[in-house]
Structure 1
Amino acid sequence: MPPKRDCCGSDPMTPAARLAAAIDLLDAILEGAPAERALTNWARANRYAGSGDRAAVRDHVFDALRCRGSFAALGGALTGRGLILGLCRAEGRDATALFTGEGHAPAALTADEAKHLASPAPPREDLFTSDWPEWLLPQLRADLGADFAPVSEAMQARAPVFLRANLAKTTRDGAAQVLATEGIETQPHPLADTALEVTAGARKIAQSQAYAQGLVELQDAASQAMLQLVDLAPGARVLDYCAGGGGKALALAAAFPKAQITAHDIDAGRMRDIAPRAKRAGAKITLAEPGKVTGQYDLVLVDAPCSGAGTWRRTPEAKWRLTPARLAELVALQAEILSHAAGLVAPGGRLCYMTCSLLDVENAAQIAAFAARGGWESTAHLRLTPCDGADGFFGAVLSRI
């Protein structure tokens, strides 16, 4: 029987050929190539690779980056080949049967590789500990406390995909039903009454009618949970100060259709998707000119630039690029942004600070330093880790007094 063709009509790559492609890509990434660019260039140069092949190779690459330290230990080397050998060992796959050197398979195992794969694996705690940057370990242990081990283990796995049901157009159950007709299976998530966790068909979302019609938006459950701590009176003036693509502004517009919502970002390019997203969602959002936002607002959101440590399951490359100097720069920038944003809060108004970080220096310590200046009272906060079923996240709501 001939091999089953993928949806693009090409014969699928063998599992071994997919591993070989991932090895080459990982070598390029370890030498400094951005992961997304490397994957895009590989797909363009290898048109024979169908959608299933591209997805499989991508998964191998990101699994290896996510578990770079542990896979290198299991595979015997911090190289593309070592990481993929580690992946095979972690998944219980027979590397000897895959590394044959035949066709497009990786070269056969060397004697040293075979000996290493046959040796006892390091203790489990040593494996997940090695998947953090070494310089960050003392800080993570202190900040996470008893949660360090379970969070470290959870960070080795792929992150779930979440959708936010757009309450301006549908209910969560209604969105789930429409998605199901398109082969996208979901389940409600307890962190927010708008949150749907995608359990099957995630790669179909962008082309689905549910997405095109604005019934759903991609948004992590942690962000959705944080926004549910916010209540707005009709006509409330809201500023999303670091709006980026506008996900949080869109969520508030859906929950509070009578609010007056303005989005701002210092980089106009990051806001380019807000207008089409708002149109699709049926929301009204005003865009402020970068760096020139004025006025006073009843609520100012600050989704601050941060290390992104809570999202490193999604962007594993980033954790290996973070340095102590860059973290210090981010902490200073967060303090500066908080000061600027605070000046835009009306008397009696609120300031909502958020990061997708697990690090206290960006979270509770940052807020404590800000509140110590006086004039603010903390009224709510949220701290989540991947053990809660979402990204790592911190949020605090402060009221001007």
Structure 2
Amino acid sequence: MTPAARVQTAITILDEIGAGGPVEKALTGWARRSRYAGSKDRAAVRDHVFDVIRQRRSLAALGGGDSGRHLMIGLCRRTGVSPEDMFNAAPHAPAELSDAERAGGRAPLDGPEAADLPDWLWPEFSASLGDKAAKAAQVMQTRAPVHLRVNVARTSRERAIEKLAAEGIDCSPHPMASTALEVVEGARRVHQSEAYKSGLIELQDAASQAVVESLPLEPGMRVLDYCAGGGGKALALAAHAGVDVFAHDIAPKRMRDLPERASRAKAKVTVLSPGELDQAGKFDLVLADAPCSGSGSWRRAPAGKWQLTPARFEELLETQLQVIEKASQFTCADGAFAYATCSSLSAENSGRVNAFLDKNSGWELGFSQAWTVLDGADGFFVALLSRVL
């Protein structure tokens, strides 16, 4: 495919998404229909689509409209590519620009448009990040880095770097966690690498690793990952020697790949259904990575910020408080409870912790920590609570 043909393909996919189609379904459907497209073509088209979704509002301003065509005109202008070179009416390329399209477009307005956020969310985002809000929003317009977690139960960070380098994957240590690597080159090779297939590494954001690293883990502890999802944090917990890890999720299907991942990593994780959890007793440490807006990881899943509504946000806040209330009950008398989110919004983080403490005098805050995209990873939050003895 020519560069212009890739642009036209992205336009078609973006229009499908704009009509309400799920992002991954639109991309997968195109790939299945387009066997002629090579791996580089598929990667380039995917990058175009995600770059646009991250920057939809500001690109609509630059391109003069919100259709797939206008958004790709905006992306060309932002990245310094001449739209005339791409919109050239060549075979499989977009039609030439009209006079109106050449004259259209403007600089994004300061505030939510330039930040690529919904109007209603900008005040919450600004209040949460203060004078760092504009810079954080700018970072969120870019692609997220690829981070790996080294399975320190089986290898060292230095040895993992060597093994990955031998397979054409260049990594450097990430300062956020002692287990974290950032992929500098060769990210698309990770899933096929022997280091990955043999369980020496896992894909996991550095801030997510930092959450686990912040917890007071000791040999002999029974630890519950209450909202385990795919199980990334449960596996990170299980890499700590002598820690007995249990994983639970209200939707057990989310954990369907966890046994295979644990086997690959040679880690022991006991998966508990909701019914089994009620019979499992108390735990020395309970971690609840609660459902949230995902605002800290919108670089990876940018459609989420456009799908979030004020009503849904209020539902999430209520759900988070319910999760804290329920999950904390599984903590033993002298144990600890950790509440985490991949959110950059204070209402979901310290706001939920404070709301819980206001209603439950038998708990106290030990510490809380927030990371933002300005720290070189996803936005994350964790707070550690303990019972008042």
- Please report the TM-score for the alignment, with normalisation by the length of structure 2: 0.97
SS in 2 for 1:135: coil
Q: Identify the match of residue 99 of structure 1 among 81, 87, 107.
A: 87
* 1:343 alignment partner, SS class: helix
State the secondary structure of the residue aligned to 1:352: strand
Structure 2: give runs of 5+ residues left out of the alignment.
none
Which residue is 1:22 aligned to? Answer: 10
Choose from 258, 264, 281 the match for 2:248: 264
Matched, 1:132 2:117: yes
Q: Aligned residue for 1:289?
A: 273
1:195 aligns to 2:183 (yes or no) = no
Counterpart mapping for 1:2-401 below 5 A: 13-116=1-104, 121-122=107-108, 128-129=114-115, 131-254=116-239, 256-294=240-278, 295-372=281-358, 373-401=360-388
CA contact (8 A) 2:112 2:118 kept: no
Structure 1's 205 and 142: CA in aligned 2 closer, same or farther, altered over 3 A?
same
Aligned partners of 1:265 and 1:291 also within 8 Å: no
Please state how far the C-alpha of 1:134 moved relative to its aligned partner: 1.2
* Cα deviations by residue, 1:40-77 (Å, 9 ceiling, x for unpaired): 00000011000000000000000000000011000000
* Unaligned segments of structure 1, at least 5 residues: 1-12
**Contact 2:248-2:274 at 8 Å conserved across structures:** yes
- 3-state SS of 2:382 partner: strand
Distance 2:112 2:243 in 1: 50
Q: CA–CA distance in 1 between the matches of 2:65 and 2:32?
A: 29
- The percent identity for this pair of structures is 53
**2-side partners of 1:116 and 1:277: how far apart?**
51
User: In the aligned structure 2, how far is the partner of 1:193 from the partner of 1:79?
Assistant: 44
Give secondary structure in 2 for the equivalent of 1:351: strand
Task: Give me the whole-angstrom Cα distance separating, in 1, the residues matched to 2:88 and 2:235.
Answer: 52
State how far apart, in whole Å, the 1-side matches of 2:241 and 2:261 are.
15
Task: Report the TM-score when normalising by structure 1.
Answer: 0.94
C-alpha separation between the residues in 2 aligned to 1:222 and 1:265? 21
Once residues 22 and 50 of structure 1 are traced to their aligned partners in structure 2, the CA distance between those partners, rounded to angstroms, is: 15
Deviations 1:177-235 (A, max 9, x none): 10111111111111001000011111111111000011100111001111111122221
Q: How many residues align?
A: 385
Please say which of residues 225-234 and 172-181 is displaced more in the overlay: 225-234
What is the one-letter code of the residue matched to 1:383?
A
Q: What's the Cα RMSD here? A: 1.2
